[in-house]
Chain A
């Protein structure tokens, strides 16, 4: 028999002698490792889902909002000021490089009536670039043309949720909506995107020119036409920071802000949102993993407990082995391998169980889960590490036993 092989056989012998005991010890590790994998895969899954949501909105998107109204020292909600204008949007399109399209929009709450249905909803006046900039697709109908825009055609494109609310299952294309004093004809329905804040599913889009006929678009003191936000796409994502900086400078100049004044607008890039969100979720994932790691720690303490019992039980055996010439490293090697074997087996089974549960959670559409190689490697190496760490003390104890006393042990 090969020499390196013998300690493994001895350790295996120790494991199979007490099958139930070994099984329970391994179970502790299995639960710990599986918990780490399941919780971390849920965290990773959430991260992947949110990132893909953001990316579906366009990762090269930059949105400019007006600043806050500050009235007698009281700061109002973000976006409440009327500082952003059509002319700003035109200046940005002309003067800032690495920009592919700029889409200013003006939103207002209007009373909508369709047949007997009556609802108050936000209507957004947009330019033709809006669809492209926001990565929107039509599920049905058409989008308004440049001609419609120039002539202030009273047409609307609506989101999936709006269609559901106003028209239920009927085909909305060609139907009419009474909007304030005007009648607007629905010409298209947006493809549903699901997701988060400002979802296009809730949008009612009409040409900005038509909007101006429906509600009076406010003007600034300089006579510029106020918009609610300016959305633009960056042609080169790597230049997003540069673009944001350029826009900031341009708008500060245009708004005649002195050096000690704050910006009266805010700029948000999707890339920034994505990295902030993914960082936050990463922290959450780690927290989940840390909580699960506590059960792994408890499993490790179980291993230590069992190894201490095992050493005590085999005191006489240790004495015999020492009398036969076993050195200290032979003895602690034997017990350490046994502990590592328990935790390694537990780790492997834990990975399989955790993976299966994660898969089921995904398959049953309870939550999206993603098991990545680093989680698996982490869980297994931590479990083996725990075996070595918690096995070390009992093994060292065993190796230091006095052979004469060990031989006399009853």
Chain B
């Protein structure tokens, strides 16, 4: 499903260059649930952005479902994001002026067109049908993150990427979010990559990848 080969990523920092990733090799098979851990600055988010086609590597190859995507044009990357990738962010990133339902529907907007019925279905699945017409500010943090999960899920993507999905939640809401993600993974054949600091979450995954200084330092199978 995901195959990263000698990936490097450098950013210009004034006259010098900042190397964030220094030869990352990673292979994730379809349906796998993988946690990425590591200290801040280790390059976790950059790896996730590359996997999600939000960014392109400076060198190396990235095969997504067997297709080399590291040199595609911006619009082609956007299309891949729209069709194949569902993002879940630490800060939820819902649009504040849209209702929960409209936010979920937005997940379909660039993937082939809105479908209110489908959005409602997914909202029901995560147990928020009664909150469909509430704005994000009227929802608790846990509810907001569940809406964000529904938005990622609504287009049935083969790949879901989550960047510290419980980082802004209390432990109870965090548990809820984790149980939704794990049950999704168990029910549907979705590949999941989750960045986390939380050992508890990591142990729900099948494999934990440790990053440090832009390299994979160890992998453990749970």
Chain A interface (Cβ < 8 Å from any Cβ of B):
1, 3, 6, 13, 17, 316-317, 319-330, 403-404, 407
Do the beta carbons of A403 and B54 come within 8 Å of each other? yes
Selected contact of A407 from candidates B79, B80, B93, B107, CB within 8 Å: B93
| List of A residues within 8 angstroms of B89 by Cβ | 407
| List of A residues within 8 angstroms of B52 by Cβ | 323
Closest to B113 in A: A3
Do the beta carbons of B97 and A13 come within 8 Å of each other? yes
**B156 interface residue, CB < 8 Å from A?**
no
Chain B interface (Cβ < 8 Å from any Cβ of A):
49, 52, 54-55, 74-75, 78-83, 85, 87, 89, 93, 95, 97-98, 106-107, 109-111, 113-114, 116, 151
Show 6 A/B contacts (Cβ-Cβ < 8 Å), sorted by A. A321-B110, A323-B87, A324-B107, A403-B54, A404-B54, A407-B89
Pick from A327, A329, A404, A407 the residue with the most CB of B within 10 Å.
A327
Closest to A320 in B: B93
| List of B residues within 8 angstroms of A324 by Cβ | 81-82, 87, 106-107, 109-111, 151
Do the beta carbons of B110 and A1 come within 8 Å of each other? no
| List of A residues within 8 angstroms of B113 by Cβ | 1, 3, 6
Selected contact of A316 from candidates B55, B75, B93, CB within 8 Å: B93
A322: shortest Cβ distance to chain B, in Å? 7
Bound Cα distance A324, B49 (Å): 13
Bound Cα distance A307, B102 (Å): 24
Do the beta carbons of B110 and A326 come within 8 Å of each other? yes
Bound Cα distance A326, B85 (Å): 12
Bound Cα distance A330, B93 (Å): 19
- New A-B contacts (7) at CB < 8 Å, excluding given A1-B116, A323-B54, A327-B110: A13-B97, A317-B95, A320-B93, A324-B110, A325-B83, A327-B74, A328-B78
Bound Cα distance A317, B94 (Å): 8
| List of B residues within 8 angstroms of A321 by Cβ | 106, 109-110
Do the beta carbons of B78 and A322 come within 8 Å of each other? yes
| List of B residues within 8 angstroms of A329 by Cβ | 75
Bound Cα distance A17, B111 (Å): 25
Bound Cα distance A3, B111 (Å): 11
Q: Provided the pairs A316-B93, A404-B49, A404-B55 are in contact, do residues A323 and B114 lie with their beta carbons within 8 angstroms? A: no
Do the beta carbons of B110 and A330 come within 8 Å of each other? yes
Bound Cα distance A268, B106 (Å): 73
Q: Provided the pairs A317-B95, A404-B54 are in contact, do residues A328 and B74 lie with their beta carbons within 8 angstroms? A: yes
A399: shortest Cβ distance to chain B, in Å? 9
B126: shortest Cβ distance to chain A, in Å? 18
Bound Cα distance A383, B82 (Å): 35
Selected contact of B78 from candidates A17, A320, A327, A407, CB within 8 Å: A327
Bound Cα distance A328, B98 (Å): 22
Do the beta carbons of A325 and B97 come within 8 Å of each other? no
Q: Provided the pairs A1-B113, A6-B114, A404-B54 are in contact, do residues A325 and B78 lie with their beta carbons within 8 angstroms? A: yes
| List of A residues within 8 angstroms of B75 by Cβ | 327-329
| List of A residues within 8 angstroms of B82 by Cβ | 324-326
Bound Cα distance A317, B97 (Å): 10
Selected contact of A17 from candidates B49, B54, B97, B110, CB within 8 Å: B97
Bound Cα distance A324, B84 (Å): 10
Pick from A13, A320, A326, A407 the residue with the most CB of B within 10 Å.
A320
A8: shortest Cβ distance to chain B, in Å? 13
